[in-house]
């Protein structure tokens, strides 16, 4: 697949950001978030309406007026955003293949090719010249197209970005179909730093360079595994701690369990020298605090962590899933008191994040993995006026030992995006649990 860049420009907010909002301080959770750009790519089928980038730019400008930090620049010395309206980057490109050919290869897709559809390198963050939001619109030879949105994890999580994209799509769709450009997005709150003040904690290091991701350089590969609804039901049954129990673990925890077990087995199972491992799972806190943090800009998650030592034969699936579920439950329970405890809640969060960073650096931890679920997020609602996306994907983010789960469009199955270094991936796909998953594809 060959991608040709046609143009590159900055889209500024339609209205200037007021002086009172020019300085946006990031929160404690923003501080520890990885210094990476997170890509999300939306794919749309060919239709009788040509891709109108003019209307996309105009609607983007309108929505940036509300989501003003995305048009600013990050100041790493002060852990803040200068909301100077420099703008979000907008790239236009054309692709020499048909969209159908790309989508038909999904089960055997070399994920790194998707990185040609994103507008900036994953690791190009933290410099004042780096846009905090970048978009690439790629037109395929058949008339289909992809809209890739990269946002800096320094200031936004997936929930914030998807809300932004859906607001943009709604404004763009209304403008395209009816000429109405008066759509006003929902109001948003930009005071996360007041709720969870920063404390100059270091971020989770990505280990990435600022250059374009190249497999031969990073030697880290991403592979997509598809789990059907029936396969997930089977895994949930196997993951029960007590076979007599009527309650199964959740579909997300069960899938994390089966994939995490194989990853840990590959790394640390050793009959003569059992080794320690740590797994961190992000837990969205927006709907779990009291009161709920609706329309809150930024990173708002807790890190549920499991630390243990693998046995001679690795880890047992029921025990591992139970530990994952228990760690998430503890995080959810903490969510309910974070705001009501005020200063004590802030201290609790600070202590937990500080301990997490220390734990991952301990010498006895021989494997550290990061799990994130995109399930239940409204990824497939972004209709820019040409219908909803055929597929929503990530790209190859060369941070090893990560798993991202995404609902299939049908809602029943799950796509698991697993990233490992090349040698570990070869061992991973030959693990008996993974062979079982692959045999059912």
Catalytic annotation, residues: 153, 383
Q: Tell me the C-alpha distance between 321 and 336, whole Å.
A: 23
Beta-carbon contacts of 240 under 8 Å, excluding residues fewer than 6 positions away, are 247, 248, 249, 318
Beta bridge partners, 281, equal: 304, 371
User: How far, in whole angstroms, is CA 221 from its chain's centroid?
Assistant: 17
Return the closest-CA partner of residue 70 out of 174, 7, 155. Answer: 155
- The CB density around residue 37, as the number of other CB atoms within 10 Å, is 28
Q: Tell me the C-alpha distance between 87 and 242, whole Å.
A: 55
Q: Tell me the C-alpha distance between 74 and 247, whole Å.
A: 46
Reading phi first (left if > 0) and then psi (alpha if -120 to 50, else beta), residue 348 is in alpha
Q: What distances in angstroms separate CA 243 from CA 201, 237, 249, 318, one per listed residue?
A: 43, 8, 12, 10
List the end-to-end C-alpha distance of the chain, in Å, as a whole number: 25
What is residue 314's DSSP assignment?
A: B
């Amino acid at each position: 697949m060959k991608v040709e860049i046609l143009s590159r420009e900055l889209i500024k907010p339609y209205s200037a950001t007021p002086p009172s909002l020019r300085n946006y301080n990031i929160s404690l959770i923003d501080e520890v978030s990885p210094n990476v750009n997170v890509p999300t790519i939306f794919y749309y089928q060919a239709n009788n309406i040509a891709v109108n980038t003019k209307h996309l730019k105009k609607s983007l400008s309108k929505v940036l007026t509300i989501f003003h930090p995305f048009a600013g620049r990050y100041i790493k010395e002060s852990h803040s955003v200068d909301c100077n309206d420099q703008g979000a980057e907008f790239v236009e490109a054309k692709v020499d293949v048909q969209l159908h050919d790309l989508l038909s290869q999904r089960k055997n897709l070399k994920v790194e090719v998707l990185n040609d559809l994103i507008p900036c390198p994953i690791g190009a963050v933290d410099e004042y010249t780096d846009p905090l939001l970048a978009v690439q619109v790629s037109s395929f030879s058949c008339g289909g197209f992809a809209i890739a949105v990269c946002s800096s994890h320094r200031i936004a999580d997936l929930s914030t970005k998807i809300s932004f994209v859906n607001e943009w799509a709604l404004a763009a769709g209304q403008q395209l179909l009816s000429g109405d450009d008066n759509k006003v997005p929902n109001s948003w709150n930009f005071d996360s730093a007041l709720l969870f003040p920063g404390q100059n904690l270091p971020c989770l290091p990505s280990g990435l360079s600022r250059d374009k991701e190249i497999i031969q350089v990073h030697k880290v590969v991403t592979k997509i595994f598809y789990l059907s609804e029936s396969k997930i039901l089977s895994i949930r049954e196997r993951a029960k701690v007590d076979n007599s129990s009527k309650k199964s673990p959740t579909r997300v925890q069960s899938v994390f369990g089966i994939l995490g077990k194989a990853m840990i087995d590959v790394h640390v199972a050793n009959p003569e020298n059992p080794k320690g491992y740590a797994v961190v799972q992000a837990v969205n806190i927006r709907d779990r605090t009291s009161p709920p943090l609706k329309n809150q800009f930024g990173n708002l998650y807790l890190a549920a962590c499991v630390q243990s030592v693998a046995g001679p034969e690795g880890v047992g699936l029921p025990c591992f899933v139970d530990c994952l579920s228990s760690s998430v439950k503890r995080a959810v329970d903490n969510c309910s008191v974070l705001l009501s405890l005020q200063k004590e809640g802030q201290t609790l969060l600070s202590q937990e994040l500080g301990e997490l960073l220390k734990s991952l650096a301990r010498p006895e931890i021989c494997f550290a993995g990061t799990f994130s679920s995109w399930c239940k997020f409204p990824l497939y609602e972004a209709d820019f006026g040409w219908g909803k996306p055929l597929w929503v994907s990530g790209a190859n983010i060369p941070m090893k030992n990560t798993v991202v789960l995404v609902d299939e469009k049908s809602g029943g199955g799950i796509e698991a995006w697993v990233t490992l270094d090349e040698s570990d991936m070869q061992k991973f796909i030959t693990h008996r649990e993974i062979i079982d998953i692959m045999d059912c594809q």
